[in-house]
Amino acid sequence: MTHMNVERERRTFSALETAAFDGQALLERGTALLEYEPPAPNPGRAYLKHCRSQHLSPTARLRNAIENHELSLHYQPQYAISGGRFYGLEALARWFLPSGESIAPTIFVQRAEQNGLIGALGAWVLHEACTTVAAWHRDSELLPILCVNVSPRQISHEFCSVLATTLERTGFPAARLELEITEGILIEQPELALECLAQWKRLGVRISLDDFGTGYSSLNYLSQLPVDRIKIDKSLIHRMSAEVKTAAIVRAIISLGADLGCAVLAEGVESERQLTMLIGMGCQQVQGYLLARPARADKARALLAANQGKRPIPHPYPAACSATASSHAF
């Protein structure tokens, strides 16, 4: 560990102590304070350059990558603030070219959404994540909450079938799977979206509302969607230390979550100040580079093992969020 890392760790631990956060346990588990890696410059240009070198269109190249399993998954830990306990893992798709360059997820996910490949990409991510973590469970009883992002463009009856089939074939317990959606799912085909979410709930899967606080963020969505957890968008977390009004919004979302019986997680926590503020506001869960960055499956598994031993994590939040949710959660 470099001197900079050591110093950063020391300062962060001090902040955690001040906030009565169980930072010691967190740090001892070796998960904290990994260096922030800036995104590659001009990620779109690197992708186009690569496609030209392969004499393929960007869409055809992506299709090949999905079919040939060139993508991989990284897993970013999430922590419960109380006790600094490992809460779960968010699966994140990554694409590394043979040259070692990586294609930013924003580039290939957007292209997949625009060119009809999002179904195949989403199905692969779900299957790969469930297969990987189900194997951890079989081998060593490790079973975190597994969070998988679902694009609004994936919402379909076909995806519901993919979900049911994946759970059945991989043996991954539905109650440990959490699908992350955004309010965008209600914009294009709201009736279909609500139908699909009801099907997910019938399968026993949990649902979180991702990127909350951006876009429309209509409170009406919260009453319509059967969500179990709210994830506060990282843009709010980044701005709240400098903007009093943004801090007030974050505090209000945390309070709203508590009133609705939803867990609330803050995304993109990158500084001690942000963490201390969130603890003061009563936030329950955090995710971000301050604590741990996304890691390859083997590293994520090692982190989980170091944090949890061989004990499964107790179910983190028993109640669904909205009145609508309870009608679906049978």
Which positions touch Ca ion (CB under 5 A)? 149, 180, 210
* Residue 152 C-beta: closest distance to Ca ion, Å: 13
* Residue 113 C-beta: closest distance to Ca ion, Å: 15
Distance of CA 35 to the CA centre of its chain: 19
* Residue 268 C-beta: closest distance to Ca ion, Å: 10
* Residue 3 C-beta: closest distance to Ca ion, Å: 33
Residue 291 dihedral angles phi and psi, to the nearest 5°: -100, -45
Sign for the CA dihedral angle at 138, 144, 145, 148 comes to negative
DSSP class of 206: E
**Amino acid letter at 19?**
A
Q: Of the two residues 46 and 321, which places its CB atom closer to Ca ion in the complex? A: 321
How far is Cα 299 from Cα 226, in angstroms, rounded to an integer? 33
**Amino acid letter at 151?**
S
Q: Of the two residues 58 and 268, which places its CB atom closer to Ca ion in the complex? A: 268
Q: Of the two residues 149 and 154, which places its CB atom closer to Ca ion in the complex? A: 149
135: number of Cβ within 10 Å: 16
Q: Of the two residues 103 and 179, which places its CB atom closer to Ca ion in the complex? A: 179
* Residue 60 C-beta: closest distance to Ca ion, Å: 28
* Residue 311 C-beta: closest distance to Ca ion, Å: 26
Q: Of the two residues 12 and 151, which places its CB atom closer to Ca ion in the complex? A: 151
How far is Cα 104 from Cα 242, in angstroms, rounded to an integer? 28
Question: Of 64, 55, 58, which Cα lies nearest the Cα of 46?
Answer: 58
How far is Cα 263 from Cα 212, in angstroms, rounded to an integer? 13
For every residue of 88-144, DSSP letters joined together read: EEEEEEEEE-TTS-EE-HHHHHHHHHHTT-HHHHHHHHHHHHHHHHHHHHHHH----
Element (H, E) at 86: strand 85-96
Q: Of the two residues 214 and 276, which places its CB atom closer to Ca ion in the complex? A: 214
Tokens describing residue 95: 């694409």
* Residue 232 C-beta: closest distance to Ca ion, Å: 11
Q: Of the two residues 210 and 272, which places its CB atom closer to Ca ion in the complex? A: 210
